[in-house]
Amino acid sequence: MNYLITGGAGFIGSHFIDFLLSKLSETDRVICVDLLTYAGNPENLADAVKHYNFEFIEGDICDEALMDSIFAKNSPDVVVNFAAETHVDRSIASPDIFFNTNLLGTVNLLNLSVKHGVSLFHQVSTDEVYGDFAQREDRYPKGFTEDAALLPSSPYAASKAAAEMAVLSYMRTYNLNISISRPCNNFGERQYPEKLIPLTVKNALGGRAIPLYGDSGNIFREWMYVKDTCRAIYTIITLGNKGGIYNVSPSFSIDNRSLVERILSIMNKPHSLIKQADDRKGHDKKYSICSEKIKNELSFEFEYDFDNSLIQTVQSFIK
Ligand SMILES: NC(=O)c1ccc[n+]([C@@H]2O[C@H](COP(=O)([O-])OP(=O)(O)OC[C@H]3O[C@@H](n4cnc5c(N)ncnc54)[C@H](O)[C@@H]3O)[C@@H](O)[C@H]2O)c1
């Protein structure tokens, strides 16, 4: 089997490539295409490049001619699309590139997947596509289920929801075999230091303030260690149904202030480093998703404990 992984020099994509390479046989091949934006780092692929059946190609998923030649040369059986602009604050400041990469880049990959007869296209989406759980909590006692309407709040979330719509239309119209994962917030080694956990560690190490948006004790996110995300996506790719959409969250929920306080405690740093900042525009108060489907349909079980994984992650940023 030939796997084309986009965005594989980023945080989750690089962990997924390591995981995939540990699972595959010697006849399988993994090709990673990544534009190496500010968020992509070739060092994230330091282990992967030691495998003779791995190849890295620097390129833009929006580049039709380049991507066509990559599909023609490598005949991918499975495409896994991680490539995206991913930071909500950046999407509020400059939305256009989010729709360009996250929507039009995905459409380019879909067109080429149809043209080159790809067996499975997997789209990595996000729990943010549902929008603010606080506004619909009463209707979903265990968190949003996969059939809940998508009501994205930020341009980032809207671009990911739009990409999902494109993916679904290619299944219906062109009979492309697709699946979609919607993971909750990820954390782990290699995450780019603009995101909450690595930013907290970086600022605390430098004795700098850690800004928290709005009423941070009442802003809740669900968190998952990146290696569970990789296991879940691999499970969906290998066992998931055609057209299957799967929420992925171990349902570990914590408010932003408590999370930052835990990190500061791990680092023996004073909680007084936390500084109140103005709220983010359109800020969702809470995300909560129900992962019964992946557990029941695909017998998936989450493996990683939050506290131990957090300590390990914090230590990796200190090294
Ligand atoms: N990190 C999370 O908490 C989280 C949660 C749910 C879903 N997701 C989704 O998972 C995927 C990966 O997220 P991440 O946190 O690893 O992101 P990341 O920002 O760390 O990595 C994104 C990667 O995509 C690459 N990229 C950007 N534009 C590209 C383009 N035009 N062509 C080719 N490559 C391009 C970047 O260079 C980078 O390597 C994204 O699709 C994101 O929406 C992330």
Say what percent of the chain tops pLDDT 90: 99
- Whole-number Å distance, alpha carbon 8 to ligand 1 midpoint, is 8
Is there a domain that residue 194 lies in? no
Residue 242 in any domain: the answer is yes
Question: Does residue 273 form part of some domain?
Answer: no
Report if residue 211 sits inside a domain.
no
Catalytic residue among 34, 127, 189, 261: 127
In the chain the first and final C-alpha atoms are separated, in Å, by 37
Q: 238 lies in which domain range?
A: 2-188+225-251+288-304
Protein residue with least CA distance to atom 27, ligand 1:
84
Q: Respond yes or no: is residue 127 known to be catalytic.
A: yes
pLDDT of residue 319: 85
Q: pLDDT grade, residue 8 (50/70/90)?
A: very high
User: What is the reported pLDDT for 228?
Assistant: 99
Q: Inter-axis angle of helices 226-239 and 11-23, to 10 degrees? A: 60
Catalytic residue among 34, 60, 128, 164: 128
Asked, for residue 258, whether it belongs to a domain, the answer is no
Asked whether the predicted pLDDT for residue 44 surpasses 90, the reply is: yes
What tokens appear for 288 in the block? 């909560």
pLDDT of residue 35: 98
- Token pair listed for 265: 């405690």
Catalytic residue among 156, 170, 234, 304: 156
Strands 274-277 and 210-213: parallel
Q: What is the pLDDT of residues 144-200, one digit of tens each?
A: 999 999 999 999 999 999 999 999 999 999 999 999 999 999 999 999 999 999 999
Number of domains in the chain: 1
**pLDDT value of residue 151:** 98
CA of 34 to the centre of ligand 1 (A): 10
What whole-number distance in Å separates Cα of residue 91 and Cα of residue 9? Answer: 20
Q: Average pLDDT in the 44-56 region?
A: 97
- Report how far ligand 1's centroid is from the alpha carbon of 174 (Å): 26
Report yes or no on 213 lying in a domain: no
Read off the pTM.
0.98
pLDDT at 13: 99
pLDDT of residue 63: 98
What rounded mean pLDDT belongs to the chain? 97
Q: List b or e across 165-187, with b for residues whose CB sees 16 or more CB atoms inside 10 angstroms.
A: ebbbebbeeeebbbbbbbbbbbb
Which CATH number does the domain housing residue 45 bear?
Answer: 3.40.50.720
Our answer to whether residue 43 is catalytic in this structure is: no
Residue at 24 is within a domain:
yes
Q: In the prediction, which pLDDT does 26 show?
A: 84
Q: Give how far Cα 305 sits from Cα of 64, 184, 225, Å.
A: 42, 15, 8
Percent of the chain scored above 70 by pLDDT? 100
Residue 52 located in a structural domain: yes
- Cα dihedral sign, 241-73-29-6: negative
- Give per-residue pLDDT as tens, 225-278: 999 999 999 999 999 999 999 999 999 999 999 999 999 999 999 999 999 999
